[in-house]
Amino acid sequence: MTKNHKHDGSDPGARKTPAREPAVNSDTGADADRSDPAGKNPQAGHDAQSELARLEAENTELKDRLLRALAEVENVRRRAERDFNDVRQYAITKFAGDMLGVADNMERAIASVPDEARKVDGALKTLIQGVELTEKGMLQALEKHGVKKLVPLGERFDPNFHEALFELPDPSVPPGTIAKIVEPGYSIGSRPLRPAKVGIATGAPSQGVPLSGNREQPQNRR
């Protein structure tokens, strides 16, 4: 016997199709974000500006530190170069000071022989010429190392390089002018090695003013 199945239009084996959600227009939201991002999130824009200002201030500070460091390095280099030059130039100060006595003795030996004796005695003349050449060579060697002989006759007195021993009345030169050299001086570089011993001119001698008691009294006219 055949059973009649009632057909209700449903198929138990058929798959159910899920309901579709309404499509969202993503372009509309993206356009809104691109149109005014700050308006959508004003706090983010404020934070970005603050970060930019902080980075600019930090950059300025780093540049200032770099310039200061470069200037300090340049100052250190200049000081080191100056110290090196001073050491190289003034390293022979003690040795040069010891050699001044030798130069003085040769100068005294040359000055002790008068010109008449040189003319009479040929051997003595040759000896003195040899001493003069030796003195000249030694002074040239000292000058090569920055040591110079000072003979400031006629120059203005300088207490840094000259030592005044006495004063001379000399109206032909201004007061304070060196009129006589007792002993030559020497300098090394820009520093005095030994001051020159000199006599200073004081100008014309002062005229004596008579005392009031010795002045001639005018005669009474009758």
Instruction: Yes or no: say if 193 and 162 are a contact pair by the CB < 8 Å rule.
Output: no
* Contact status, residue 131 vs residue 165, Cβ threshold 8 Å: no
The per-residue pLDDT for 214 is 44
On average, the pLDDT of the chain sits at 79
In one letter, which amino acid is 175? P
pLDDT at residue number 39? 52
What does the pLDDT look like over 56-86, one tens digit per residue? 888 999 999 999 999 999 999 999 988 888 8
Per run of 10 residues, the mean pLDDT along the chain (length 222 residues) is 48 52 50 50 76 88 91 91 84 90 92 88 90 94 92 94 93 91 93 95 61 44 41
pLDDT for position 41:
66
What is the model's pLDDT at position 210? 45
pLDDT reported for residue 137: 94
pLDDT at 89 (0 to 100): 79
pLDDT at position 119, please? 86
Q: What angle (nearest 5°) sits at the alpha carbon of residue 148, between those of residues 125 and 139?
A: 30
- What is the per-residue pLDDT for 206? 55
The answer to whether the Cα torsion of 189, 192, 198, 202 is positive or negative is: positive
